[in-house]
Amino acid sequence: MMQLWSRVVTATLMLTVVPAAHGQSAATPGATWDRRYDGQMYVYGKEPVDFLRQMLPELHVGRALVLAAGEGRNAVYLARQGFDVTAVDVSAKGLQKCLALAATQGVTVHTIVADLDTFDLGTERWDVITEFYYHDPALFERAMRGLKPGGHFILQHFSLDQLTTNRFGPRNPAWLVAPNQLPRAFNAWRIRHYEDTIVELDEGMHQGPAAVVRLLVEKTPVE
Ligand SMILES: C[S@@+](CC[C@H](N)C(=O)[O-])C[C@H]1O[C@@H](n2cnc3c(N)ncnc32)[C@H](O)[C@@H]1O
């Protein structure tokens, strides 16, 4: 599969290959998300996920990789906290809005339009990797490899309970987290925080109770 990415989202994208990106069925990578992000409104708002804000004191300021960054609310937040942020997403439109948000807040975010199925996270390159509302267990090992020793992987996703909690979020169980799936997947590493809970969301189009899992893993091996 040809990997398509660009350092600047304004670059012309020759999207001739058609992998079905996570959560979409369109023929062109990113097309569904580009459509969703088309318009002035920030679909999930401009404020970061609360859990990221809460865990900030645990993170080492340095290089942050924001996976599936969307319109950039979490990437811009981290840049405001002094991180050197790279935001990756399959949607060029989303990342354009990320750059616009960064500009209004006086910070810089590097953007890469890429399909996370094939994106190279590198080895021991990042102090923090975030993954919010993009559940792909195939990324877990790559993310842990990409972290520097002692670095942190932080995520929040909808859990399977969301199917009976509220009407928003993915309906495909493959994109929802099963009970204990994350503690099992990360049992070789130090889990600093894990919750499987219902929270009240105030995130753009996501308003009201939501069933989520929240995880902060440190890249420190455990016996
Ligand atoms: C539910 S949104 C979450 C956006 C952002 N993390 C947030 O919390 O605001 C999911 C994001 O995943 C991106 N995405 C979907 N499939 C992808 C893929 N295969 N590679 C990269 N990004 C993808 C979409 O473009 C979208 O921005």
SS3 of the chain: the string is: CCCCCCCCCCCCCCCCCCCCCCCCCCCCCCHHHHHHHCCCCCCCCCCCCHHHHHHHHHCCCCEEEEECCCCCHHHHHHHHCCCEEEEEECCHHHHHHHHHHHHHCCCCEEEEECCCCCCCCCCCCEEEEEEECCCCCHHHHHHHHHEEEEEEEEEEEEECCHHHHCCCCCCCHHHCECCCHHHHHCCCEEEEEEEEEEEEEEECCEEEEEEEEEEEEEEEECC
- Closest Cα to atom 12 of ligand 1: 68
Q: The whole model's pTM is what?
A: 0.90
Is residue 77 within 6 Å of ligand 1 at its C-beta?
no
In the chain, what are the domains? 31-156+179-198 (3.40.50.150)
**Residue 14, pLDDT above cutoff 50:** no
Q: How far is the CA of 89 from the centre of ligand 1 (A)?
A: 6
* Banded pLDDT at 223 (limits 50, 70, 90): confident
Model pLDDT, residue 48: 98
Q: Does the CB atom of residue 203 touch ligand 1 within 6 A?
A: no
The residue-averaged pLDDT of 58-79 equals 98
Q: What is the pLDDT of residue 58?
A: 98
Ligand 1 neighbour 33 (Cβ under 6 A):
yes
pLDDT of residue 13 exceeding 50:
no
Q: Residue 22 has what pLDDT?
A: 54
